[in-house]
């Protein structure tokens, strides 16, 4: 079936809600793994550098463990603050100032904790202390927090973009599903009204023919009920309904209508929108053959070629130029909309007046992946 229909009958809010718990748990797990790994990586790299310089001591190890845990805790609190005040949705200019200020504050606090630990462990030496040392230490640690912030905000901007994109696809599918249902609901009353009118005209004139017509109509009604549950149907089912409809019209119009149906056997199981051919046939009779004193002919052919299904409906008569130019006739506009919703630009529909006093309606449907 067409790819569009895999998303049909989706309630977007239900889909999003059903996955929310799993997504939250996965996001929480991913966050903590990233947090621990990130700060552990920062700590280990600094300890390796100290060891390479011959300055590794247990006191230095203790100081960097303080940096590790304080960084872990403070950035986690920073994340909580970001979510609470919804910084993700702030404009870049407002966010930039707040984020830089927060990085400076957190960097200062971590430096103060590290310096206090260093002092408490007897590592502080006044003769080696320089006035610029706190400034350098605060800038370095604030830079680390700035990198953390950049990664955090970038990840969430990307995640929100993907979520919005998914929601857009789901809503688009739901809208298309609604539009297709609306178009189908237009078809059935329109067709049934004309069929009942045909039978009514026969009841007094030819009761036996009316009985046959009722049988044909019952087949069509059965088909109509079936398509309420299906977005597409096999071509052979559609053509059987078309044959019943034409037989119904032949009883009413008698000698004024002749018809012929030639279906390529290879195309029997190709999926097409239901009632599409029938609607065009009905319009061809109503606007073409029925208006002619001597009636006319309707000729339907299908052909499978080059991964496309070609359907040609040719009937006697001429379509009004206004309908042809504006493409707003019921059958024309409905067919175009349904084909576009299901197949996009891959399908084609063309209707034209021919020089031999006939009208051709030609449909091209891509069949790749649509054969059941």
User: Which pLDDT tens digit goes with each residue over 178-231?
Assistant: 555 554 554 455 556 766 777 777 787 778 877 888 888 888 778 777 766 677
Q: Which domains does the chain have, with CATH numbers?
A: 3-171 (no CATH), 204-366 (3.30.565.10)
Q: Average pLDDT for consecutive 10-residue bins of the chain (372 residues)?
A: 40 49 76 90 91 86 92 92 86 87 93 88 65 83 92 82 65 55 53 71 77 82 72 88 86 85 91 86 85 90 91 89 59 78 86 89 79 42
Tell which residue, 157, 16, 158, 140, has the closest CA to residue 82. 157
314 beta partners? 299, 360
Question: What residues contact residue 343 under an 8 Å CB cut-off, 6+ apart?
Answer: 2, 365, 366
The pTM (predicted TM-score) of the whole model is: 0.51
pLDDT at 146: 93
pLDDT on residue 174: 55
The reported pLDDT for the residue numbered 76 is 92
SS3 122: coil
Q: Which stretch of DSSP H or E encloses residue 320?
A: none
Complete DSSP assignment for 199-231: HHHHHTT-HHHHHHHHHHHHHHHHHHHHHTT-S
- The per-residue pLDDT for range 38-86, each reduced to its tens digit, is 999 999 999 999 888 888 888 889 989 999 999 999 999 999 998 888 8
14: tokens are 């239900």
| Predicted pLDDT of residue 20 | 59
Question: How many C-beta atoms lie closer than 10 Å to residue 114's C-beta?
Answer: 18
Closest listed residue to residue 358, CA positions, set 304, 292, 277: 292
| E strand segments, the chain | 233-234, 257-262, 271-272, 296-305, 308-316, 348-354, 358-366
| Sequence-separated (6 or more) residues with CB below 8 Å from residue 253 | 285, 289, 290, 295
């Amino acid at each position: 079936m067409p790819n569009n229909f895999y998303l049909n009958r989706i309630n977007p809010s239900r889909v999003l809600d059903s996955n929310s718990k799993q997504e939250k748990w996965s996001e929480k797990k991913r966050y903590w793994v990233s947090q621990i790994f990130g700060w552990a990586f920062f700590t280990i790299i600094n300890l390796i550098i100290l060891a390479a310089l011959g300055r590794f001591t247990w006191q230095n190890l203790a100081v960097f463990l303080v940096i590790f845990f304080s960084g872990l805790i403070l950035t986690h609190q920073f994340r909580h603050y970001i979510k609470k005040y919804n910084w993700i949705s702030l404009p870049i200019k407002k966010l930039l100032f707040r984020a830089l200020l927060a990085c400076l504050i957190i960097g200062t606090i971590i430096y103060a904790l590290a310096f206090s630990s260093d002092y408490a462990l007897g590592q502080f030496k006044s003769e080696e202390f320089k006035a610029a040392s706190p400034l350098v230490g605060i800038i370095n640690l604030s830079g680390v927090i700035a990198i953390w912030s950049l990664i955090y905000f970038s990840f969430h901007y990307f995640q929100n973009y993907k979520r919005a994109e998914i929601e857009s696809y789901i809503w688009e599918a739901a809208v298309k599903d609604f539009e297709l249902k609306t178009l189908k609901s237009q078809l059935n009353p329109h067709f049934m009204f004309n069929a009942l009118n045909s039978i009514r005209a026969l009841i007094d004139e030819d009761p036996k023919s009316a009985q046959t017509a009722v049988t044909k109509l019952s087949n069509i009604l059965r088909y109509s009920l079936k398509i309420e549950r299906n977005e597409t149907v096999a071509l052979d089912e559609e053509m059987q309904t078309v044959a019943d409809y034409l037989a119904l019209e032949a009883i009413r119009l008698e000698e004024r209508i002749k018809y012929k149906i030639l279906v390529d056997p290879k195309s029997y199981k190709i999926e097409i929108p239901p009632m599409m051919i029938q609607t065009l046939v009905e319009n061809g009779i109503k606007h073409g053959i029925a208006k002619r004193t001597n009636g006319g002919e309707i000729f339907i052919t299908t052909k499978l070629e080059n991964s496309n299904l070609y359907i040609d409906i040719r009937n006697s008569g001429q379509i009004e130029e206004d309908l042809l130019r504006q493409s707003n006739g019921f059958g024309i506009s409905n067919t175009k909309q349904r084909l576009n919703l299901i197949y996009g630009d891959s399908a084609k529909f063309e209707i034209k007046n021919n020089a031999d006093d006939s009208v051709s309606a030609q449909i091209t449907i891509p069949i790749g992946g649509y054969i059941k």
